[in-house]
Chain A
Amino acid sequence: MKPSRLVAGTAAIAGAALVLTGCTPPYQYEVIEGTEIHVAWNDILDNFNGSSAAGNNVANSIALYMTGSGWNYYDGSPELIKSPEFGSYEKTSDDPLTVKYTINNNVKWSDGVEVDEADMLLAFITGFGYFNSTDADGATTYLFPHANPRPELVSTLPEFSDHTLTLVYDKPYVDWELQFAVGNVAAHATVMLAYPEITDPEEAKTKFIEAVQNKDVSFLTPVAQAWNSAFQQTDTPSNPLVSLSYGPYIVDELKADQYVALKANPDYNWGPSPKYEKIFIHQYTGATAFSSSLTALENGEIQIASGQPTPDILQIAQGISTANVFSGDEATYEHVDLTFNNGGVFDPAYWGGDAAKALAVRKAFLTTIPRQTIVNELIKPLNPNAEVRESFLVIPGGPGYDTIKAEAGSANYPVAGDVEAAKKILADAGITERIEVKFWYPLGNARRASQYEFIAQNAALAGFDLVSTAEPNWEFTDTEMWPINPHDAVLFAWASTSLAISGSDQMFGTDKPSNFGGYKNSEVDSLLATLEVTTDAAEQQRLQLEVEKLLWADAYGTVIFQFPGLTVASKDLSGVEPGPLAPYYFWNFWEWAPVATAQ
């Protein structure tokens, strides 16, 4: 039904106001009958298990976000918000790090079976790779092919009882709040899919728990197979066990490469009630996905579209009189890294081991980069609120960003790109010759080609001759091919997928796989190592600030901008509030509500 032909929404809500549960606040069933919303995404659901290696991708996580629940989620800020209606978790001890998870009693799978400790146990043995074996070569294989098993974090089977489970970490872990979630597959469903002869859910759960406790691998092997492959589906699954939901929506229909239809879960009362009876996620993919989805939005086929804008796309979006436009940051950010160990101009070895000279050259080069011009010319037309990013570790608006911006020392690299200051730095270091910089950016990307132009032009004025070593294959990231990065400077982007703090060491730690510039600073290494095992938020921020100070002082590189994102939503609905992290504009889907139009 077309939203424009809705009966005013409030009347329909009234009858459903009386469902009370033990939790605060009283749950109100606000689903409006006959309403539906169509949104565009570049891919749709193809796996009901978003934790397996095959199913772990953004498209699956979005649909499964709506069919599942959790102890916390990111809001649009992005900030981690807890969901007490679903359950609770608390850190009961810092040493050893112990976390107790509880699920409320009213939380049920869509077949009526309670979500309880069996499901948490399944999530544990899969997510923490509890059943694994290491062969002679040191390669570890896991019984359950989870996308990211972490046996090193928790190696002991947790205590569990009625609706609770207590994880005891082997060592403190910085991102403990993000590490554990129930996932999307029910323990009883997985067992019953593996053993069709078991028809009683409770029996399935009991057998599963016993098998885990007894380490009965022969019982669990078929379960692991089912866990991995039974949930792979391109069309509506014939077995309802596959598509069980414990979230606000249930997958109603799945059509390969076309759309997934979700309908409101009538039993859901452990979180805010959604308003739409049905949500359709349409697959808009390919080179023209975003402009296609905007045309479709203008045509009324869909109500929400998002993607990376071009100036024209933004203008088209603004020109759709029936739509609201949300410009904002994405989590991906553009940066320039310098190479410290390839014998190039940023390597002390080039200057006969004179580290101070190399530092001056790095500083001078970074000082010339006209970051503000790049943002003004290339990003502001896409996101009027865009600013130069000033932190390596923290997303703008994230915890501690403002302190880092103010104190970490990025101010030494003026955003405008100061040619005179750069000349002075070089002169002070006694460097008079012109300096040749091998500069790489991914060939084929028009925006980066333009950035190169801005950077090269400004650097030329200060005495740097940039030589483009652009190629399209990112060959330097293949450390087998290039153990040492051949380029002096590289321009590309890092993608953040969460606010997780762990992982920074991969880029800045000595000899870590993503440290392509060969940066070495033992102080940074130890700070990052401490950070990994720090669970206190204030202490985390302090450590991050210290790391940032060192990175800027060493002239590690520079950060330029957050990628601009654009979400366009029809005025037929309210409540859209896009966020920079997965699940992007879906994070508050329950707040989407039809705007009643005058009849």
Chain B
Amino acid sequence: MSLDAQGRETTIEQEATIGLSQGQVIWKRFKKHKLAVISIFVLATTIILAFTSVGIVIGGNGQLVVDKETLLLRPDGWYIKGWWQWDWFTVGAKDLVNGAPTWNHPFGQDDIGRDIFARVMRGMQQSLLVTFIVGFLSTAIGVVLGSLAGYYRKWTDSVIMRVADIILIVPVLVLGAVLGRSVGGGALFLAIMLGLVAWPGLARLVRGEFLSLREREFVDAAVVSGASARHIIFKHILPNSIGVIVVNTTLLMSAAILIETSLSFLGFGITPPDVSLGQIINEYQTAFQTRPWLFWYPGLFIILIALCINFIGDGLRDAFDPRQRRDDFTKEGFFKSLFGGKKIEADHDEVIVGTTQRENI
């Protein structure tokens, strides 16, 4: 340990981060998680690919309409074409009888000659939309309500937590069924509804954080110095629980993509003619042995998205947790401890020294 400029003791962890803003510190830590960094790039690439390749539809009711000029079908709403030569809705001739992948259609074609790459890309758009909207909405609601409950406690807490309980025990599938059947499953609407009911878990966590943080000295100090409740919540307490929030959000997002898939499986999700990854998988789950390209590509992209989000979450968790270090304090091993108990005791000091040294890397 050493003394910093003001003569306070600093720990070794602090030394590694002196002179950096919180964001820089977190980014510095995050960068160490290689899989997380790779995941960010992969996810970004995927998003760009999904939204540029087959174009986007803004507005519209998810149905197909006749284009007045070409007399061909196109999606309802404002449809901007992408750079990929095929779209996800036009039926056409199949290059090969079974629709197997060709140079022309790298992911193959379905029963009526639609391009699977285009369908998977469109499906990804929808799944990503669901993922991010659910993540954003539920985080916003969960943080606000969780903060209020944890900060004000008493009846505010009771009311919010009971509402959370109610939402928690209403099965998601019931909501999905109502949505799927009464609205006809637009991705946006589905995402918003899922987002509106996915917050209770996060609200609980945030509340828990608040309950313990608001007892800390720095909050007392802020209260004494006359800070408003809003100031205390958003400037003092919330930044301290950002780690929990970020991690939970990523978990929720990867869960959302799977929930969308499950809903589609049970017939309650996004419906044809629009496409979601879950719906494609569901429709072609029996294609596993016969037309594997229909089974594997959409599934692999779901896994890819969920995997990236999970890794990013894992990286963020490590980055936000100041106590986490890349220490290999037990590298000496389980193995040794199995067969040479005495030796490990002798090595013990060395082990600890080893860990402290590594912290400076």
Q: Which residues of A contact B (CB under 8 A)?
A: 287-288, 291, 310-313, 315-316, 319, 377-378, 381, 434, 443-446, 449-450, 452-454, 456-457, 460-461, 465-468, 470-473
- Asked if B326 is at the interface (CB within 8 A of a chain A CB), the reply is no
Contact B290–A445 (Cβ < 8 Å)? no
Q: A460-B66, A472-B271 are in contact. Are A453 and B285 (CB under 8 A)?
A: no
Contact A312–B72 (Cβ < 8 Å)? no
Contact B73–A457 (Cβ < 8 Å)? yes
Q: Secondary structure at chain B's binding surface: helix, strand, loop or mixed?
A: loop
Contact A310–B182 (Cβ < 8 Å)? no
Contact A446–B283 (Cβ < 8 Å)? yes
Contacts of A316 in B (CB 8 A): 286, 289-290
Instruction: Looking at the assembled complex, report how far the CB atom of A107 sits from the nearest CB atom of chain B, in whole angstroms.
Output: 45
Instruction: Looking at the assembled complex, report how far the CB atom of B230 sits from the nearest CB atom of chain A, in whole angstroms.
Output: 45
- Asked if B111 is at the interface (CB within 8 A of a chain A CB), the reply is yes
- Asked if B272 is at the interface (CB within 8 A of a chain A CB), the reply is yes
Contacts of B351 in A (CB 8 A): none
Task: Tell me, in angstroms, the Cα distance from A467 to B273 when the chains sit together.
Answer: 13
Contact B71–A461 (Cβ < 8 Å)? yes
Q: Which residues of B contact A (CB under 8 A)?
A: 61, 63-66, 68, 71-73, 89, 91, 111-112, 180-182, 184-185, 265-267, 271-273, 283-291, 294
Contact A456–B112 (Cβ < 8 Å)? no
Contacts of A473 in B (CB 8 A): 181-182
Instruction: Looking at the assembled complex, report how far the CB atom of B109 sits from the nearest CB atom of chain A, in whole angstroms.
Output: 12
- Identify which of A287, A444, A446, A468 gathers the most chain B CB atoms within 10 Å of its CB: A444
Measured CB to CB, the nearest residue on chain A to B287 is A312
Contacts of B294 in A (CB 8 A): 312
Contacts of B266 in A (CB 8 A): 287
Task: Tell me, in angstroms, the Cα distance from A316 to B286 when the chains sit together.
Answer: 8
Instruction: Looking at the assembled complex, report how far the CB atom of B296 sits from the nearest CB atom of chain A, in whole angstroms.
Output: 13
Contact of A313 among B71, B72, B184, B286 (CB under 8 A): B286
Interchain pairs with CB closer than 8 A, number: 97
Instruction: Looking at the assembled complex, report how far the CB atom of B197 sits from the nearest CB atom of chain A, in whole angstroms.
Output: 21
Contact A450–B286 (Cβ < 8 Å)? no
Task: Tell me, in angstroms, the Cα distance from A475 to B294 when the chains sit together.
Answer: 33
Measured CB to CB, the nearest residue on chain B to A461 is B71
Instruction: Looking at the assembled complex, report how far the CB atom of B202 sits from the nearest CB atom of chain A, in whole angstroms.
Output: 31
Instruction: Looking at the assembled complex, report how far the CB atom of B180 sits from the nearest CB atom of chain A, in whole angstroms.
Output: 7
Contact A445–B272 (Cβ < 8 Å)? yes
Task: Tell me, in angstroms, the Cα distance from A287 to B268 when the chains sit together.
Answer: 12
Contact B111–A311 (Cβ < 8 Å)? yes
Contact A456–B89 (Cβ < 8 Å)? no
Contact B180–A450 (Cβ < 8 Å)? no
Measured CB to CB, the nearest residue on chain A to B67 is A460
Contact of A456 among B73, B272, B285, B287 (CB under 8 A): B73
Contact of B111 among A287, A313, A381 (CB under 8 A): A381
Contact B64–A319 (Cβ < 8 Å)? no
Contact of A453 among B182, B184, B273, B291 (CB under 8 A): B273
Measured CB to CB, the nearest residue on chain A to B284 is A312
Task: Tell me, in angstroms, the Cα distance from A443 to B273 when the chains sit together.
Answer: 9
Instruction: Looking at the assembled complex, report how far the CB atom of A477 sits from the nearest CB atom of chain B, in whole angstroms.
Output: 14
Contact of B66 among A288, A319, A445, A466 (CB under 8 A): A466
Q: A444-B271, A444-B272, A456-B64 are in contact. Are A450 and B290 (CB under 8 A)?
A: no
Contact A472–B290 (Cβ < 8 Å)? no
Instruction: Looking at the assembled complex, report how far the CB atom of A279 sits from the nearest CB atom of chain B, in whole angstroms.
Output: 27
Instruction: Looking at the assembled complex, report how far the CB atom of B278 sits from the nearest CB atom of chain A, in whole angstroms.
Output: 13
Task: Tell me, in angstroms, the Cα distance from A443 to B186 when the chains sit together.
Answer: 11
Contact B66–A465 (Cβ < 8 Å)? yes
Contact A446–B272 (Cβ < 8 Å)? yes
Task: Tell me, in angstroms, the Cα distance from A466 to B63 when the chains sit together.
Answer: 11
Contacts of B265 in A (CB 8 A): 287
Q: Known contacts A466-B66, A468-B64; can you find 17 more A-B pairs with CB under 8 A?
A: A291-B285, A311-B290, A311-B291, A312-B284, A381-B111, A443-B184, A444-B181, A444-B184, A444-B271, A446-B272, A450-B112, A453-B89, A457-B91, A465-B66, A465-B68, A470-B63, A473-B181
Measured CB to CB, the nearest residue on chain B to A314 is B290
Instruction: Looking at the assembled complex, report how far the CB atom of B61 sits from the nearest CB atom of chain A, in whole angstroms.
Output: 8
Please list 13 pairs of residues, one from A and one from B, whose beta carbons are closer than 8 Å in the complex, sorted by A's number.
A311-B111, A312-B289, A312-B294, A313-B286, A315-B290, A378-B111, A381-B111, A443-B271, A450-B111, A452-B64, A453-B91, A470-B63, A472-B180
Instruction: Looking at the assembled complex, report how far the CB atom of B208 sits from the nearest CB atom of chain A, in whole angstroms.
Output: 38
